[in-house]
Amino acid sequence: MHTATTTTTITLNQGFFARRSGFDWLFAAIVAAGGLYALQRYGGYMDAYEQGILLGAIPGALWLGWFWRPLRALMLVVAAAALLAIGLYQQDGAGSLARAETVFALKYFLSSQSAILWMSMLFFMSTAFYWIGMFARGEGRTMGLLGARIAWAALAMALIGTLVRWYESYLVGTDVGHIPVSNLYEVFVLFCWMTTAFYLYYEQQYGTRALGGFVMLVVSAAVGFLLWYTVVREAHEIQPLVPALKSWWMKLHVPANFIGYGSFALSAMVAFAYLVKRQAAQTRWYRLAPLWLLGVALCFEPVVLRQGASENAGSYWTVYFGVSALIVAGILLGRTRIAQRLPAFEVLDDMMYKSIAMGFAFFTVATVLGALWAAEAWGGYWSWDPKETWALIVWLNYAAWLHMRLMKGLRGTVSAWWALTGLAVTTFAFLGVNMFLSGLHSYGTL
């Protein structure tokens, strides 16, 4: 008699720390040493809240670097470049902003303005290469990969510019120094790199670069505004904070808010891609509404912002208008090809949902923090200021979207249209209130 023997192999998953590589632990040691050195070196200039934020940033940075490994190299490169810039500023012993015009590396690469200009150019290049990859023969992998690599470089330059600008504000005056999230120029830089970072994470998670061109369109539009704002308002000049902004609440409220804004913008562009894919086979013009709406949105910006601009700025917006029209025409004519390259509807729907869910969570936290800040600054948690009212409208819009998805199973075209419309609501809350309304939050007027 033959007896069959069954062998069962049990594979035990490695523990979290056992899966860490040598580079993971080297990264952890560098982050911990840098954080503790900063606390020892600058702790005397910080209050208890700021010291707590610094200590909390150490495990936070470790978790981010271990959770998404490309961030490890990004953090180390950005930190090294920012420290190099600070060292170049301090070469004369005292430290002076004038060195940004005399030291080659600062003048052309590492001063905040130079780094942000590099960021702007790289974002435009990334957008172009993503779209070239979309229409290239074969699968366009080389061009798409190049677009992604350039997006990473732009992200690095944006972070370098932000950190160096933070230091430069203290060179202007110790009473002027502040985290660079206080005006439209600074928060547009924040919006650009946050939106890009979120997209690059989803690009890796879903294994597709086909959405890069769509997402980078909204980033490039933000860069276009940033460059105009720099020329017309000289917004790159570091200014002292108004009294209401001299609060540690700003360091928490504004970044949390822009995690929400960046995620909402990402979800809207994914929704736009969803609608292009859904309606690619349509031939009747009125059934191609998403494309016409994109044209209106892109062209509306120069029409509004050109008002009151100088002659040179007016020419800038004329070029912007022309480029926007070409983009819309290109997507309209190539919609069938684009639809073939885009991932499945299920992937687009899932990415849209995750972006809105994350954005809503952080936007909720930001709203609560804003209420606490308002109570400290103005004596009340809520005053129905235009900015507060529109923030509530944004919150209710996405709360309703999530409710309909989780409770009623909202999917498909209606879901995508709603997410795309949400970008218009969010844009007005972010920028339109500053343009057309006034109130307690009018710190970044045009």
What token pair was written down for 267? Answer: 């979800």
Query: Given this model, what pLDDT does residue 103 score?
Result: 93
The more confidently predicted of residues 263 and 221 is 263
**Mean pLDDT score of the chain:** 86
Lowest mean pLDDT among 89-98, 185-194, 252-261, 305-314: 305-314
Q: CB of 199 within 8 A of CB of 359?
A: no
The more confidently predicted of residues 389 and 47 is 389
pLDDT digits (tens, 9 = 90+) for 396-425: 999 999 999 999 999 999 999 999 999 989
Q: Residue 11 pLDDT > 50, yes or no? A: no
The more confidently predicted of residues 14 and 82 is 82
Q: Residue 7 pLDDT > 60, yes or no? A: no
Least Cα distance to 271 among 430, 400, 134, 412 occurs for: 412
* Cβ-based burial of 170 (10 A; exposed 0-12, middle 13-18, buried ≥19): middle
pLDDT digits (tens, 9 = 90+) for 214-258: 999 999 989 988 988 888 778 889 989 888 788 888 888 999 999
Q: Residue 377 pLDDT > 90, yes or no? A: no
Query: Given this model, what pLDDT does residue 180 score?
Result: 93
Least Cα distance to 309 among 374, 210, 227 occurs for: 227
Q: Residue 36 pLDDT > 60, yes or no? A: yes
Secondary-structure percent of the chain, ordered helix, strand, coil, rounded to 5? 75, 0, 25
Instruction: Give the Cα separation of 137 and 86 in Å (integer).
Output: 45
What token pair was written down for 124? Answer: 């435009």
Q: CB of 416 within 8 A of CB of 352?
A: yes
Residue 393 CA to chain centroid, in angstroms?
21
The more confidently predicted of residues 42 and 88 is 88
Instruction: Give the Cα separation of 445 and 305 in Å (integer).
Output: 12
Instruction: Give the Cα separation of 373 and 250 in Å (integer).
Output: 8
Query: Given this model, what pLDDT does residue 313 score?
Result: 56
Instruction: Give the Cα separation of 397 and 367 in Å (integer).
Output: 14
Lowest mean pLDDT among 192-196, 247-251, 362-366, 367-371: 247-251
Roughly what angle, to the nearest 10 degrees, separates helices 250-278 and 412-427? 140
Query: Given this model, what pLDDT does residue 8 score?
Result: 47
Residue percentage of the chain with pLDDT more than 70: 85
Query: Given this model, what pLDDT does residue 314 score?
Result: 58
**Per-residue DSSP letter, 438:** -
Q: Residue ranges of the alpha helices (H) in 68-207?
A: 70-89, 104-105, 112-135, 141-172, 184-206
Instruction: Give the Cα separation of 78 and 160 in Å (integer).
Output: 6
Q: Residue 326 pLDDT > 50, yes or no? A: yes
Residue percentage of the chain with pLDDT more than 90: 53
Q: CB of 439 within 8 A of CB of 387?
A: yes
Query: Given this model, what pLDDT does residue 284 score?
Result: 65
Q: Residue 12 pLDDT > 60, yes or no? A: no
The alpha carbons of the chain give a radius of gyration, in whole angstroms, of 23
The more confidently predicted of residues 117 and 327 is 117
Query: Given this model, what pLDDT does residue 247 score?
Result: 84
Domain ranges (residues) in the chain = 196-208+241-287+301-446
Instruction: Give the Cα separation of 199 and 241 in Å (integer).
Output: 32
Report residue 166's pLDDT band, with 50, 70 and 90 as the boundaries. very high
pLDDT digits (tens, 9 = 90+) for 266-325: 999 999 999 889 877 665 665 666 666 665 665 555 555 555 455 555 576 677 777 777
